Structure 1
Amino acid sequence: MKRVFGVDQKPAFVFIFAGMIKLNITDETSRLRAVILGTALSNGGVPKLEDAYDPKSILHIKQKTYPKEEDMVAEMNAVEEVFNKYGVQVFRPKLIADYNQIFARDIGFVIEDTFIKANILPDREQEIEAIEHVLTQIDPEKIVRFPEEAHIEGGDVMPYKDYILVGVYRGPDYSDYIIARTNMLAIDYLQKLFPDKKVVSFNLRKSNTNPYENALHLDCCFQPVGEKYAILHKNGFLEASEYNWLVNLFGKENIFEITAEEMYHMNSNIFSIAPDVVISEQNFTRLNTWLRDKGITVEEVPYAEISKQEGLLRCSTLPLVRE
């Protein structure tokens, strides 16, 4: 089989030795070597309104514009083709019939050499079982799960230099929001697990009904990109001081501020293969132009149908190895 390697021509399989995956994730942008990519096969069709988790999916169910399986499969295949182009080892979940398995980031995440299983919505537990064939290739001592009451999902968690940046919802009405996925108890456990890191939490804006006012995860309103840049949406944060903390961390001149419309279309949810290579949605014209102006190669893919479920490229990928 012919392999085409990008950037530095180094194959991904060197990071899988004797059947074991050597996990390594310390940031969002280092050269990607291995990743879990979700699947849209046997997606289950249009969900019932009462079964939808987020306001954007609800909107498209009502408008009868919910994405078709064949379109989403084609979009995810386009992403896998980009990974193949850059020599990235791609794992896919085992298929669960008539079930949505697109958003792999929800079910877990890696920090340094540790895989943290997410405490996700109870009826999505099958999704973790569907990647067991990957988890068996990881040292079991490096797989962690927090207590059930410590809620956390991968879309809220971003390692960055000395920090672990985490989206949360701190409101007393936390239990009223199905789109509140990470709580402060999980912050405490993260800090204990990584004592040498500074875990910083950000109180996110939540709405069960308005997709323009809902930051489902931190990556819906913020993401580092390149060596020093960030994509940011101010209204995704409930606390102005926490938004300003991020502005100060990156520097205002290094930030691409997205509009409410761009947040709705998930412009902050692109995915980095390397500091100078990203995968982005083909319709993100303003963002993609800015990235190219910064010297970053933009691999454009169609992903607008998947975005109708309030998730995009980062949401559907779970990086295992970067270097």
Structure 2
Amino acid sequence: MIQIGNPSDIAELREVIVGPYKTFNWWNLIWGSLRYPDLASLRYVENNTVRVPDHSIARRQHEQLVQTLVDSGVKVHTLPSVPDVDIQLYPRDIAFAVDDTLILSRSRDPIRQKEQRALERYLPQFSKVEGIESGHIEGGDVMVTDDVVFVGLSEATNLQGISALRSCFARAGIDREIVPIEFSGRGVVHLDTKFTMVGPKLGYIHSSSLTPYSRSLIAERFELIEADDAEARALMVNTVALAPDRIIIDSRARRLAEGLRAHHVEPVPLDFSEVTKFPGGFRCATLPLRRGAGRSAPGEQQ
């Protein structure tokens, strides 16, 4: 039995799911770019030449992320490969945990719907599972704070999906307010490309991507470290917490790292530059199942 528990997205990480590393062909590269218009800078064009991500480098970078999780005492599960899905690096969007419940996303993307099949072998092991019955919602839009749950109204999530999530909370006995977050323009892939929690009451944010009112809702609860346009396009906002005071961040995000240190949070910098070109960052690449306040036993990979 895998006990689900996620009291906050920065509570100490104890158990997580990652995806399998798989290569892709040219069509996957082009189609992935078309599916994520907000990440236009990651369309692999340099000096008018299309540059394919180097798989040997990207694979090592993904392995380094997994090893960092294991070395930090996290139990790591790797999803099985789904034959007709070419890229499975980002399991965050096929499900997400809130308190004691794993919630299966409801994607509008047919590829993501197929990708979700990789969870089937685990479903009988999860202590509590619920599904979304209508609308659309993906895990990259769901941010679990100490009290409320922020949900981004991105290209992947709509108001009907948020309403269905409220019904899901009621069935699961989750007593949480859901706070919708709106963006200033179309094309945003997920909330976690524009805002993530990087410490107790501390967040990275790209403010111009959010409406002023939505930014104010976040600012009521968090002190915010501002990411500039280039940092946001490179997915440097997309982080994952090992603990309230230890955050995995992009090794290129030196300025943002200094912001963490100023708040007594330890940045754990990793190079994810090739993996990000698929595109997705550290938060996308991890599906936390269990977080808690205390120290866990040494991690193991399964």
**2:209 maps to which of 219, 224, 236:** 236
| Contact 1:44 1:100 survives alignment (8 Å) | no
2:185 & 2:54 partners in 1: Cα distance? 27
Q: Secondary structure at the match of 2:221?
A: helix
The one-letter amino acid of 2:214's match is E
1:60 & 1:154 partners in 2: Cα distance? 25
For the pair 1:290 / 2:259, whether they are aligned, the reply is yes
1:48 & 1:277 partners in 2: Cα distance? 33
Q: Secondary structure at the match of 1:90?
A: strand
Q: Deviations over 1:185-228 (max 9, x none)?
A: 11112223335211100112455xxxxxx431111111112112
2:58 & 2:185 partners in 1: Cα distance? 26
**1:187 maps to which of 145, 162, 166:** 162
**1:99 maps to which of 57, 65, 86:** 86
The structure-2 alpha-carbon separation of the partners of 1:87 and 1:271, relative to structure 1 and needing over 3 Å to count, comes to: same
**1:60 maps to which of 15, 35, 44:** 44
Question: In the alignment, which residue of structure 2 is the partner of 1:113?
Answer: 100
Question: In the alignment, which residue of structure 1 is the partner of 2:125?
Answer: 137
Question: In the alignment, which residue of structure 1 is the partner of 2:22?
Answer: 41
1:48 & 1:163 partners in 2: Cα distance? 36
| Contact 2:28 2:86 survives alignment (8 Å) | no
1:41 & 1:298 partners in 2: Cα distance? 28
For the pair 1:28 / 2:28, whether they are aligned, the reply is no
Question: In the alignment, which residue of structure 2 is the partner of 1:227?
Answer: 200
1:160 & 1:40 partners in 2: Cα distance? 30
1:198 & 1:257 partners in 2: Cα distance? 26
Q: Could you tell me which runs of 5 or more consecutive residues in structure 1 were left unpaired when the two chains were aligned.
A: 1-19, 170-179, 208-213
For the pair 1:70 / 2:51, whether they are aligned, the reply is no
2:9 & 2:22 partners in 1: Cα distance? 27
For the pair 1:199 / 2:178, whether they are aligned, the reply is yes
For the pair 1:248 / 2:234, whether they are aligned, the reply is no
Aligned-pair identity (%): 27
1:261 & 1:205 partners in 2: Cα distance? 17
2:264 & 2:76 partners in 1: Cα distance? 26
The one-letter amino acid of 2:64's match is A
Stretches of 4+ aligned residues off by more than 6 angstroms: none
| Contact 2:15 2:289 survives alignment (8 Å) | yes
2:77 & 2:26 partners in 1: Cα distance? 24
Q: Deviations over 1:131-167 (max 9, x none)?
A: 222223113xx222212x4100000001112201000
Q: Secondary structure at the match of 1:78?
A: helix
2:168 & 2:282 partners in 1: Cα distance? 27
